[in-house]
Amino acid sequence: MNVTIVDYNSGNISSVINSFREVAKDKVNLAVTSDLNKIKSSDKLVLPGQGSFKSCIDALTKIDGLTDALNEFVMINKKTLLGICVGLQMFADMGYEETETKGLGWISGKVSKIDNQNGKYKLPHIGWNQINIVKDSKIFRNIENNSHMYFVHSYEFIPEDKNMILATTDYSSNIVCSVEKENIFGTQFHPEKSDKAGLKIIDNFINL
């Protein structure tokens, strides 16, 4: 099986690469590339994202044909994809970080700034937080509810259809921290930085 981490110059993705290598070992062929042919021929994709919604969308669209290749992979061929952090946020129709920016539109919704309640909550939200698993999913197989995951973000994805929500975390409000729609999975937290529980999520994704 071929698993590809999409490298579109969206910041440092070395920890994503290292954790997938650690989990994948000899089970899968792991590639890190923006090569359209390799992406199209993969069985599964990982879409990381660091920085702002706008900077990640801009970086994706700078690589000629990449957005089309991702759309074909996910929407037409219905192959499995995992979005991490801004990688998940880009599933939305629209993001409001820096300026109004069109997302990939895979899961209807928007990305808005977390309400820090007049400074009561620090932004960005950085560090370990418990997740509340609200729906069964293969991606959370053998993950205990209220497990701690590692977060770094100031914006949250608000999907229109609440049935897409797999897990939330309590920070100022119930923030969506994982979604699933058919073949598309996403985590707002960083599984690659979330110790054994995070590695288990990566393992679950590889074994889907």
**Residues annotated as part of the active site:** 85, 190, 192
Q: Is 175 in contact with 156 (CB distance < 8 Å)?
A: yes
Q: Which residues pair with 130 in a beta bridge?
A: 148
Structure tokens belonging to residue 142: 């053998």
Residue type, 56: C
Q: E strands, the chain, where? A: 2-6, 29-33, 44-47, 80-84, 94-95, 101-102, 109-113, 125-133, 148-153, 155-159, 165-171, 173-181, 184-187
DSSP letter at 154? S
